[in-house]
Amino acid sequence: MASSDSEFNPDLLLAHKLPEVCFRFTFFYTIETELDPCKSHFLLLIADAFHLQRKLRGTERSIDFDCLWWLIKNRDVAIYALGVGACGQDAVDSVELKFVYHENGQEHVQVLPTFVSLFSLGSLTDGLDLPGFKYDPSLLLHGQQYIEVYRPLPSKASLINKVSLAGLQDKGKAAILEIETRSYEQGSDELLCMNRTTVFLRGAGGFSNSSQPFSYKNYPSNQGLAVKIPQTQPSAALLYRLSGDYNPLHSDPNVAKRAGFPRPILHGLCTLGFAIKAIIKCICNGDPSAVKTISGRFLATVFPGETLITEMWLQGLRVIYQTKVKERNKAVLSGYVDIRGLSSSL
């Protein structure tokens, strides 16, 4: 099963130190990401300096190191909310309208907490070169997403991302890579949010001794009410991609077939957006700022047009949830959401 070449040795890679590099590329918005080599020895796995230098050479003229940000606009926030089904059942939904429209007296469109998952994509979707490590990008699946939101999200902001590698595991048939993105508002040392993205690289495992498979994580591994919300449209992935994830796996039938699927599949982060929006509606009384932490594992693929049912259970200030595809009675996502408090109406 191993597809990594025999020269790949994760321990040897730890011995290298990477110079601090900034790079920028255009991905829906303009984003510039700062890779901080002090964060983790593993950083060099993802921040292959040669790869980044090639990027820098390729975009020399557009590089502006003083201008590291991602401009979030109201329009982007509203397109995202529509992409995860806001007002999908009712165009004047009293809870969801504020996510897609400035209601009277409201200064900005309000931001759903899962919008911050897009910040990590800006740094990652161009792929990463891992020295000596071979993987097939067409077999990559999004495995898990973990989000911490530290402050209420502004409707407009300029952000700086710092990216590091939080984990690498050899699962034999697959490799699991965890990438952490910390987002700061420009001009502030205060963290706005953190995303930890887990990618499941089918066919890329087997790079270490099978009796003692390589496993590294730089974070601690700790980390009924049932509601039914019929959801996705057949065009769901085509709308969601306009929020910035243009991976053709979600739109191109031929690419999907090559990856082993009968047709394009839904973005994992779109499914997550639907589920968390349902929790905000049912448990948080529609208040997106009540959400502190989001964790989700993608258990099985979803096809656009399938009906998602999210079940949730409240345990103190933790909401345990599971999302199923109704047509196949299959669990596709599970996880938890930590909330700041409970509304009195619950």
Ligand X SMILES: CCCCCCCCCCCCC/C=C/C(=O)SCCNC(=O)CCNC(=O)[C@H](O)C(C)(C)COP(=O)(O)OP(=O)(O)OC[C@H]1O[C@@H](n2cnc3c(N)ncnc32)[C@H](O)[C@@H]1OP(=O)(O)O
Tell me which residues touch ligand X (CB under 6 A).
121, 124-125, 127-128, 130, 135, 141-144, 171, 176-177, 197-201, 247, 265, 267-268, 297-301
Is position 250 annotated as part of the catalytic site?
A: yes
Output helix, strand, coil percentages for the chain, rounded to the nearest 5: 25, 30, 45
Is position 265 annotated as part of the catalytic site?
A: yes
- Contact at 8 Å (CB) between 193 and 116? yes
Nearer to ligand X, 117 or 155 (CB): 117
- Could you tell me whether strands 191-202 and 140-149 are parallel, antiparallel, or unpaired per DSSP bridges? antiparallel
Q: Cα angle vertex 185, ends 145, 267, to 5°?
A: 25
Amino acid at site 218: N
CB 157 to ligand X: min, Å = 21
Q: How does DSSP assign 271-332, residue by residue?
A: HHHHHHHHHHHHTSTT-GGGEEEEEEEE-S---TTPPEEEEEEEETTEEEEEEEETTTTEEE
Nearest to 147 by CA among 121, 186, 185: 121
Provide the 3-class DSSP secondary structure of residue 43: helix
Cβ neighbors of 35 (< 8 A, separation 6 or more) are 18, 20, 21, 22, 23, 43, 46, 47, 52, 162, 163, 164
Q: Among 167, 203, 268, 273, which one carries the catalytic annotation? A: 268
d(CA 201, CA 116): 23
CB 70 to ligand X: min, Å = 16
d(CA 198, CA 169): 11
Q: Among 250, 267, 294, 296, which one carries the catalytic annotation? A: 250
CB 28 to ligand X: min, Å = 14
Nearest to 230 by CA among 88, 79, 80, 82: 88
Nearer to ligand X, 268 or 273 (CB): 268
Provide the 3-class DSSP secondary structure of residue 230: coil
Q: Among 142, 229, 245, 335, which one carries the catalytic annotation? A: 245
- Contact at 8 Å (CB) between 196 and 146? yes
Nearer to ligand X, 101 or 200 (CB): 200
Nearer to ligand X, 265 or 312 (CB): 265
CB 196 to ligand X: min, Å = 11
CB 197 to ligand X: min, Å = 5
Q: Which residues pair with 79 in a beta bridge?
A: none
CB 234 to ligand X: min, Å = 17
Nearer to ligand X, 27 or 99 (CB): 27
Nearer to ligand X, 102 or 134 (CB): 134
Q: Among 147, 160, 229, 265, which one carries the catalytic annotation? A: 265
- Give the active site residues: 245, 250, 265, 268
